[in-house]
Amino acid sequence: MKLIIHGGFFSESQTNQEIKKAKQEALAEIVKLGYKHLQSHTAVETVVYTVSLLEDCDLFNAGTGSQIQSDGRIRLSASLMDGKTMRFSGVINIEEVKNPICIAEKLLGYDDRVLSGKGAQNFARENGFDYYNPETPQRRKEYEQKLSDSIRLGTVGCVALDILGNLAAATSTGGKGFEIPGRVSDSATTAGNYANAFGAISCTGVGEDIVSGAVASSIVIRVTDGMPLGLAVEKTLNELKPFEGFAGVVGISARGELYHADTHPYMVWASFDDKIEVFS
């Protein structure tokens, strides 16, 4: 059993030691809780549970504390993929919910498994997901002041390998902040979140770059064809260099390989194999 999570890219982590320490502690605690959950749950159940914890922590840009878009509203996207069944589900630009990853989980059993906007919100309400405002005072302050140097880049995500050898990946984001309403990120696409029986990947970074490189699916396809996970990650990220693509990934292979990498410092991450490891 293995588990790895990420919390996106955070420029302030390079200069603010207090924030960096808070994120390290949060990731360490969440990966520990996620790994404990994995002891008695499937990979799919575990990635949903773990990403919901990340969504609930306002240190990260997903769920509570998400970025505010250019029209002053918060729109969330998240997706889930079960490596065993190859079923993918997600919500795109959903508003006024607490845990978009839980709505993606609910959709996994439906034929129409990726919903956007008002349709996603209606589905959430019909299935018992109540109104929730994910805005925090800090995000409002950033929006009003338009301080681009304080923007947190990226998403949150989790990849798990369970006791039966099944893989799953889940990813959630609050967007990049101040974007055009209707902009679609990578997080609810197979470019940013992908799993099959051979490997699973969750991405963070600039959504447009990740989609251009089809990053998550490309890595998993290479692993499926026999390439070691680390080599598959590095080869795929190298393909972003011609357009200076900005991306980070966490992943696990069915062979138990666990890997994380980024094109630009610093992606924050934590893993639980035999012990907890956290970014430094």
**What are the catalytic residues?**
155
At 194 the three-state DSSP class reads strand
**Are the beta carbons of 160 and 167 closer than 8 angstroms?**
yes
Burial 151-177 (b: 16+ CB within 10 A, else e): bbbbbbbbbbbbeeebbbbbbbbbbbb
d(C-alpha 2, C-alpha 39), whole Å: 10
Token pair for 256: 């138990």
Token pair for 253: 């292979």
Q: Which residues contact 108 (CB under 8 A, 6 or more apart)?
A: 44, 80, 82, 87, 89
Cis peptide bond N-terminal to 266, omega within 30: yes
**Are the beta carbons of 135 and 69 closer than 8 angstroms?**
no
Query: Residue 13 carries which DSSP code?
Result: G
Nearest C-alpha neighbor of 109 from the set 82, 130, 131:
82
